[in-house]
Amino acid sequence: MMRLSIFIAIASFLCEQNRAMATAQNDAAVAIRQQYTEWLRAYEQKDLAQTMEIFAPDAISTFAGAADNDANAVRQSYTKSFALVGQPRRWKPVDLEIAASGDLAYALGDWQFVEEAPNGSPSVRLTNRSVDVLKQDGTKWKIVRSFTIPKDGREVKSSCDGTLPRVSPETFNGGAREVWQTLMRWRDSYNGRDLAVTLAPYDPAITGLYAGNQLDTFASLRESYTRSFAAKDRQRSIDFEPEEVTASGNLAFVRDHWTSTTRSPAGESRRLSRGIEIWRKNNSGEWKLLHYLSYLVCNYTANEPSIVGEGIISTPQDEFGGSLSQDGKTIYFDRSVPPHYLYTLWESHLVGNNWSAPEILPFSGQYRDSDPVLSPDGNKLLFVSDRPVNGKDPHHYEIWMSQREGDKWSEPKNLGPVVNTHSQYFASMASNGNLYFSATIADNDSEIDIFVSKFINEKYTTPVNLGPAINGKGIVNIEAFVSPDEKFLLIGAFNRPDSIGSSDIYVSYNQNGKWSAPLPVSVINTPAREYSPRLTPDGKRLIFTSERGMGTEQRAKPWTMTEFEQKSRSSWNGLGNIYTVPIEVLPKPAE
């Protein structure tokens, strides 16, 4: 009986202790939630001092794709935000999950940035998901680390030029060391394609989000790993670099980055990603991964296309084209109103490392002005337009040209009836003045061919069809961009036999005065529409337009209403964006 009494007493003590811990954790969660309420009130009132009250002096705030900010940088950001005038703006938390243990806590939530319209109705401008790590400071809790990624389909800026922090795992002790060792066992099992051991460190309630992807759960992760491990044509491995690991009670957080390497018969590609993780110790003393947020820092994959001016030039609207000035500091492009009832010509200037807000060119905005292309010397701007000719509506597109006059462009002039015969759709110029353009061969547009008009004695001569190697029945070669030296031609075309999308980009080489059969630029062509090719002035990069996005996105599950609405308002809604890629993507000409 004595032993039984002792056992009962011990059990009772442990239960009381657990209840006390649970009460303390609940009290902490309530206190933290109240601090967020106070922070929201201070932000809305533009009270800088109270807004900063929730941050620790050594706080680090990370937004996906941007440099880490210390508390002073956070303060400067709020100061700038509070100085803005206009409609009221506020942050609205959604599903804010808070938990605490010891002197460590986390807050996981979705945050909507809401702006009131002039009529008073709120409009969600963007949605982020964040993990805040808090530490107890007397009676208050302070944010020491804040990690945020977009949750609404916005593109994350990536760069291979930055340096990420790193610490030695040898400095980890106690719970931090146990968590890191668990993560290393996970790495080894993943690289060894051991599904059971790979899933073992996951909490059944795990949630995770990699920027740009769908929300991960235990079931979706298991399905993803099963597919990956079963693949025979490729193998992926991962290696981690720790940035910080902190543990208290049954909670821990990890900041780290990792390189994932994919090997296939086509070669090897590498991606650098970064993230934050929340770990929780279960009743058996095992550390389990509960939540994570992460994003792509750098894609080392050779010749990966990168978007141009995301959010400024490439936006949720429909953009295409992209012709750069000689110094690379001005870009001319098109912005249309779907379904293409109006095309307008725009320009943007590179100021430091950022593109300026685009402006419509002075002579555009009334008619359908399409596909601006600079001459090799940058002094002429070609485009096609349905604007009146000599006061008459031509009922089709013709080629126009504006001449640079100092820092301005002259009023556009029609190139005349020698080149403007039926409907012209695109024009580009070689260094010698020869004009390459696409046009219908009759009054209907069921077939579009590529022509060249030689520039002789300061005049354009009768256009010559480039012939059956390039043009053909039913083929729509709607764009033709010639290299300055006339050694190759970039083509945007529909209905070619080897097309994989609505429109694809091809290259044809000038071999002893004859144009070769076009070769698909397979690295950039997708099931979406790729079109409107250009070269940068230095000839080192290809500029093109793609409508890749939600329309061609491969999904395992149907869209939800929220996902559909958010994506359709993002740059990835399937309208045109402008991309650039190294010229090395072009297939080599046949010997």
**pLDDT (tens digit per residue) in 89-102:** 889 998 899 999 99
pLDDT of residue 167: 95
pLDDT of residue 163: 85
Cβ contacts of 82 within 8 Å, gap of 6 or more: 46, 48
Helix ranges restricted to H, 200-314: 218-230
Q: Is the pLDDT of residue 455 over 70?
A: yes
Highest mean pLDDT: which range of 116-125, 308-317, 325-334: 325-334
pLDDT digits (tens, 9 = 90+) for 246-284: 999 999 999 999 999 987 655 577 899 999 999 999 999
Separation of CA 379 from chain center: 33
Q: Which CATH class is domain 24-150?
A: alpha beta
Average pLDDT over residues 416-429: 94
Min mean pLDDT across 231-240, 395-404, 481-490 is at 231-240
pLDDT digits (tens, 9 = 90+) for 372-395: 999 999 999 999 999 999 888 888
pLDDT of residue 20: 53
pLDDT of residue 133: 98
Please report, rounded to a whole number, the percentage of residues in the chain having pLDDT higher than 90.
Answer: 69
Cβ contacts of 285 within 8 Å, gap of 6 or more: none
Please, which pLDDT band fits residue 10 given cuts at 50, 70 and 90?
very low
Long-range contacts of 363-369 (CB under 8 A, 24+ apart): 363/402, 363/409, 363/411, 363/412, 368/340, 368/341, 368/342, 368/343, 368/397, 369/334, 369/343, 369/344, 369/345, 369/400
Q: Is the pLDDT of residue 13 over 50?
A: no
pLDDT of residue 444: 59
Q: Is the pLDDT of residue 554 over 90?
A: no
Q: Is the pLDDT of residue 148 over 60?
A: yes
Please, which pLDDT band fits residue 14 given cuts at 50, 70 and 90?
very low
Alpha-carbon dihedral sign for residues 25, 26, 31, 32: positive
- H/E run at residue 372: strand 369-374
pLDDT digits (tens, 9 = 90+) for 171-215: 999 999 999 999 999 999 999 999 999 999 999 999 999 998 889
pLDDT of residue 23: 67
pLDDT of residue 5: 55
pTM (2 d.p.): 0.59
Cβ contacts of 447 within 8 Å, gap of 6 or more: 440, 441, 471, 473, 474, 475, 476
Average pLDDT over residues 136-159: 92
Measured CA to CA, the distance from residue 262 to residue 589 in angstroms comes to 29
Which residue in the block uniquely carries the two structure tokens 């599903």? 95
Q: For residue 215, count other CB atoms closer than 10 A to its CB.
A: 12
Please, which pLDDT band fits residue 21 given cuts at 50, 70 and 90?
low
Average pLDDT for the chain: 90
Average pLDDT over residues 514-526: 93
Q: Hey, where are the domains in the chain?
A: 24-150, 169-299, 329-538
Phi-psi region of 443 (alpha: psi -120 to 50; beta: other; left: phi over 0): alpha
Q: Sheet of 267-281: strands edge to edge?
A: 216-217, 202-210, 287-299, 267-281, 251-264, 235-248
pLDDT of residue 161: 74
Domain 169-299 in CATH 3.40.47.10? The answer is: no
* 24-150 and 169-299 agree in CATH topology: yes
| Beta-bridge partner residues of 348 | 331
- CATH number for region 329-538: 2.120.10.30
Q: Is the pLDDT of residue 152 over 90?
A: no
